[in-house]
Structure 1
Amino acid sequence: MEILRVFNNNVVLARDGAGREVILTGRGLGFQARPGRTVDPTLVTRTFIPADGRDPDHLAELLAGIPPEHVQLVGEALAEAGLDARASASPTLVIALADHVSFALRRQRLGVAVEYPVVAEVKNLYAGEYAQARALLAAINARSDEPLPDAEAVALALHLVNAGFASGDLSWTYTMTGVIQQMMDVIGQSYGLELDPGCVSVGRFVTHLRYLFVRIEQHEQLDQQHSPVGGAIRAAYPRAVACAERLASIVELRLGSPLTDDEVSYLALHVARVTETAA
């Protein structure tokens, strides 16, 4: 592999044999290294391949600012928590988690406590990721002299959720979480019901919303003109359609993107399923 840029003694940007730009880490890897030279493979401990169009330079610069021991800590904790497959599929997840954990450890040393206002939403809407985050936090604390508080599981869970989206901006995940909770509240108020977050239909609805937000962000909403499926849904569930149109208004207000008729129809279908189960 050829070195393209040296960020510090431990992080370099290189081009591999397939012509891809990759981020390499390893103690002393960048010491006295120069662009154009060949990478010493014996010094490489981790290889990160940027995905989803992420800027390799930006990721490498971020990684260069994280102590190597914190990157190693997170990598080992991910493996112990059974999340190494997710880390392999999304290398940027390791960088994002290491950056967060490194900052959290510094806060811990300074005695600075942080409260996360979306605790209930994360536990209810992302139960799977929250369980994984708790296991990850336990693995991190087992390897650290300064255990992080339980509340950090919320932030770790949001990073796990965020890894499923094209955007690397965690603020998008925070916004999405708030919008989902608001939509759930509207459904409950419209039907006079209390929705069970653990219900299968609610779980399917949340999954649908997560993929809907991906389509919105990528400007790829479902939009089949005069869709027969959409027409059938609207005819069968008029009350759910009225509720779905309220949900669409929330999306447009919060995310600045109007929903297509097809997206509203599929929202209505999920509203009908959720409310029939809860009734």
Structure 2
Amino acid sequence: MIERKIVHILSHNVVMTKLSSGKNSIAFGKGLGFQKKPGMVVDEAEVKQEFLLQTSEVLEHYEHILHSVDFKIIGVVEEVIAFAQGHLEGRFSETIHSALVDHINLAIERTKRGIIISNPFTFEIQHLYANEYRVADRSVAFLNEHLDVELPQDEIAFLAMHFHSARQRKKVGKGLGEVKLIAKVLENGKKLGFRFDESLPTVLFISHLKGLLDRVQAERTLSNPLLVQIKDEYEDTFEKALIFAEWIATGLNKTVPLDEVGFLTMHLERLVERQDSLL
């Protein structure tokens, strides 16, 4: 049986512990830190969620956070992480702890100084990562309530990206690069006469773009047995789809196969059809 000794009390519900195995963890449980002191042993039955800080690099980053950020902020952010982990599939990367605390701490400082940083990709993030965005929306409300701040709405999208990156085990910047590319493709697509807005057809098209980017990056693209017919029947749209594919290829530095261009053609056709049916 692994013993857990409290190292830091971050809130009534969150403590940092040292395990008898030698690892450190962030442990969550209702009242877990209430009236406790460092050095006390945590009852395993009271631990509802736990994140291990397994690498020395992650632990070093977190120790830096502990010495530079108010424990109240750390505790509330850790509760947000526990909430998000409980509502999203996939185990979070341990790097989210220091990264999100640092982000929220800076966001609070900016808000108090009246500095608002907008997120130009909120629309894309909201539709690309809908589950993460919903959880982030509730998380920002929780942060505002418990830290007595008024974080701007754009912070929802920033948090959603942190949650997505933690689930995908990749850096926030990498995930944001994908969002930027999709945003660029949509913006350029408008110049070709396509209409991208808040409607369901646009959301469905964004979903296809996301899948296409994932397949191209993983080099697991699909075969299209109807490619010849698609090229003949939708010649004009196919030519435009080739331009879309060129933008994507440039952004990813990878080739988009003609089979995928055929699928993209059909999705562009459906986009227009669905939008026309809504008029």
Could you say whether these structures have the same fold, taking a TM-score greater than 0.5 normalized by the shorter chain as the test?
A: yes
Contact 2:96/2:162 (<8 A) preserved: no
Contact 1:87/1:94 (<8 A) preserved: no
Look up the match of 1:173.
175
Look up the match of 1:36.
none
SS at match of 2:25: strand
**CA–CA distance in 2 between the matches of 1:15 and 1:268?**
58
Contact 1:12/1:23 (<8 A) preserved: yes
Q: What are the residue-to-residue correspondences of 1:206-245 with 2, within 5 Å?
A: 206-217=206-217, 219-222=218-221, 224=223, 227-245=224-242
Contact 2:227/2:259 (<8 A) preserved: yes
Answering whether residue 255 of structure 2 is matched by residue 258 of structure 1, we say yes
> In structure 1, which of residues 244, 258, 276 is the aligned counterpart of residue 273 of structure 2?
276
Look up the match of 1:35.
none
Look up the match of 1:48.
51
Q: What are the residue-to-residue correspondences of 1:55-66 with 2, within 5 Å?
A: 56-66=55-65
Mark the CA change 1:90 to 1:237 in structure 2 (over 3 Å): closer, same or farther: farther
For residues 198-246 of structure 1, what are the alpha-carbon distances to aligned partners after superposition, in whole Å with 9 as ceiling and x for unaligned? 22x32122122223333344x333154xx41444443443323212211
Look up the match of 1:196.
197
> In structure 2, which of residues 100, 104, 108 is the aligned counterpart of residue 97 of structure 1?
100
> In structure 2, which of residues 75, 78, 86 is the aligned counterpart of residue 84 of structure 1?
86
- Identical-pair percentage: 19
- List runs of 5+ in structure 1 lacking aligned partners: 33-39
Answering whether residue 127 of structure 2 is matched by residue 135 of structure 1, we say no
Contact 1:116/1:154 (<8 A) preserved: no
- How much has 1:104 moved relative to structure 2? 1.9
- How much has 1:270 moved relative to structure 2? 1.4
For residues 72-126 of structure 1, what are the alpha-carbon distances to aligned partners after superposition, in whole Å with 9 as ceiling and x for unaligned? 313434667x7632177435485243332133234445x2624224155447645
In the comparison of the two structures, how many residue pairs are matched? 252
**CA–CA distance in 2 between the matches of 1:273 and 1:99?**
43
SS at match of 2:88: helix
TM-score by length of 1: 0.69
**CA–CA distance in 2 between the matches of 1:268 and 1:151?**
33
For residues 118-171 of structure 1, what are the alpha-carbon distances to aligned partners after superposition, in whole Å with 9 as ceiling and x for unaligned? 15544764583444433221111110134423332231233244345442x222
- How much has 1:9 moved relative to structure 2? 4.4
Look up the match of 1:205.
205
**CA–CA distance in 2 between the matches of 1:145 and 1:183?**
39
**CA–CA distance in 2 between the matches of 1:83 and 1:65?**
23
Contact 1:87/1:93 (<8 A) preserved: no
- List runs of 5+ in structure 2 lacking aligned partners: 9-15, 28-32
**CA–CA distance in 1 between the matches of 2:236 and 2:198?**
22
- How much has 1:69 moved relative to structure 2? 3.9
SS at match of 1:65: helix
Answering whether residue 248 of structure 2 is matched by residue 246 of structure 1, we say no
**CA–CA distance in 2 between the matches of 1:155 and 1:99?**
13
